[in-house]
Amino acid sequence: MCPALAPLLFDRALETVPSAGNPEVLELSPSALQELVASAGKVQDELSSVPIDERLQVIEHIARKWKERLDKGDLDELKKDMSASTGYSPALMETEMSFVPAVLGAANIRRNLDASVQGGADALFKFVEMDETEMFRHVPVGPVLIISSGNSIVPTLIPTVVSLVTGNLTILKPSMANYRGVCEVFKLLADVPDSKAARAMRSALVVSYFGHDSPSLKLALEELPMGMINFWGAEPARTVVADMVGKNRNHPRFFVNGPFTGMALIEEGADVLRAADDLALDVVLYDQQLCSSPTTGAFIGPYDRAKEFLKAAGERLDEAGMEFPLAPDQDRLFVLQGARRFIQMEGGMVLSSKSPENPWTLVLSKGKSSLGGLAAQFPSFNLFARRRFLEIVAVPDAESAVQLLRSLPEHPAFKGIDGVQSVGLAVTEGSRDHFVELLVGAGVHRILPLGDMFMRGAVEPYDGVTMSSLFTRIVYWRKANAALEGQL
């Protein structure tokens, strides 16, 4: 079993200590981390010697066991706990948990590896010929420390599972909000039938919380011979962690999955009613807390048509939002009402819900955003605090919409984001390719149909980088002398 706030360990005993500032939370001690990292070579050699399909079958078993527990209702209490800790509705937590089997499905992971590993997934186990006598093999870069986000379970599972199946000793630090849910998934490793693959996988995974002032975390970042630090999150933690990693003489890789957001583009002439349905779904799912969630939008067409779309989207939000009701929060509603009035004074048209359990807000602006002064008037109503809140700016053409997208990181109401990660399109067939060409050069990472922004494809990179490339390095082997002619 995995206690709510104690490390999850398999087949090994490691010293734990109370977390700094919170004696009820246990974390790995500095000496335990040293012992764990010292074992990385042996652990990774053992795991890397297991054929990739056998590693994937261990993860597949976890996926099946999770689905069984979900179908039996064994996770109902967890849904309630996770709803309380994350702020999501219980219905949304049930939806989130239903995604887990697909995320952990062996076929999906195999497709991702085959698409992202040069030489295919088998190159994680053996040398694969790439060009005549030239061979590639991908080996683990670990030990790996993943400092994950707290906005849901699934984004934490993906890098952890990829790190594991690529052969790394993996230390996962979840957030306090999603700690129990993550543990409930990974503790199913203990139920996997005994095999070399299962034993190797259990030896390679440790889950532990670390406080912000943890001596153990400081040691791992600044001194221990880590191979990779993968940080998910925003400022100021990102810069703090980066500065600490910069002191490490072992020079581990450091990759940040930073704060991004999503944008919806709706064009006059598209199926407006379907676009309204799709936008409502993307707004309500995860309450705009994912990097892929639309937090702003543009309507390409006349302002009057944009007003019609806004009304249709509001009607759909009334329906979709009540499927995922939120617990009323009077303090948040008070700030929201003030923000709505302020935006109206700035010239924005505001539509809003009448239900405190579904507090959606849609803003329509003409040509430019009406949210410019919002941050100064309501500093607590920042992007990360806004839920079911979206401004749509009516613009005349695709170029104007993309210019809005490019300017978003400098917008005061969007302070803290690096850029737009995901764009949801609801445009006409004839103009879709034009939009895509403009977006390719605008710094976005994902272009998707509106209504599908939250869903990750099996072969998708993350923030423009294949996940497997973060956790492996390539060993190149040339079996025969290369002819000099044409090689240089």
pLDDT tens-digit readout, 187-241: 999 999 999 999 999 999 999 999 989 999 999 999 999 999 999 998 999 999 9
Q: What distances in angstroms separate CA 322 from CA 51, 159, 167, 332, one per listed residue?
A: 47, 32, 44, 18
Query: What is the predicted pLDDT for the residue at 28?
Result: 97
> What is the pTM for the complete model shown?
0.93
pLDDT tens for 371-415 read 999 999 999 999 999 999 999 999 999 999 999 999 999 999 999
Alpha-carbon Rg for the chain in angstroms: 24
pLDDT for the residue 370: 95
What was the pLDDT predicted at 486?
Answer: 53
8 Å CB contact between 293 and 446: no
Band (1; pLDDT cuts 50, 70, 90): very low
| 41-59 mean pLDDT | 97
DSSP tag of 412:
G
pLDDT, tens only, 278-323: 999 999 999 999 999 999 999 999 999 999 999 999 999 999 999 9
pLDDT in tens, 135-191: 999 999 989 999 998 778 888 999 999 999 999 999 999 998 899 999 999 999 999
Q: Band of the pLDDT at 438, cuts 50, 70, 90?
A: very high
- Residue 40: pLDDT over 90: yes
Is the pLDDT reported for residue 484 higher than 70? no
Q: State how far the Cα of 191 lies from the Cα of 187, in Å rounded to an integer.
A: 8
Residue 251 has pLDDT above 50, yes or no: yes
Q: According to the model, what pLDDT value does residue 3 have?
A: 45
Instruction: Name the 3-class secondary structure at 115.
Output: helix
Average pLDDT of the chain is 94
Mean pLDDT in residue range 352-369? 96
Q: Residue 483's pLDDT is what?
A: 62
What per-residue confidence (pLDDT) applies to 149? 84
Confidence of residue 487 (pLDDT cuts 50, 70, 90): low
Share of the chain above pLDDT 90, in %: 86
Average pLDDT over residues 13-28: 90
pLDDT range class, residue 466, cuts 50, 70, 90: very high
Distance CA 24, CA 18 (A): 7
Exposed e or buried b for every residue in 120-154, given b needs 16+ CB within 10 A?
A: bbbbbbebbeeeeeebbbbbbbbbbbbbbbbbbbb
Distance CA 81, CA 87 (A): 10
Residue 2 has pLDDT above 50, yes or no: no
Q: Which of 4-13, 22-31, 207-216, 251-260 has the lowest mean pLDDT?
A: 4-13
Integer distance in angstroms from the first to the last C-alpha of the chain? Answer: 58
CA torsion sign for 48, 53, 56, 58 is: negative
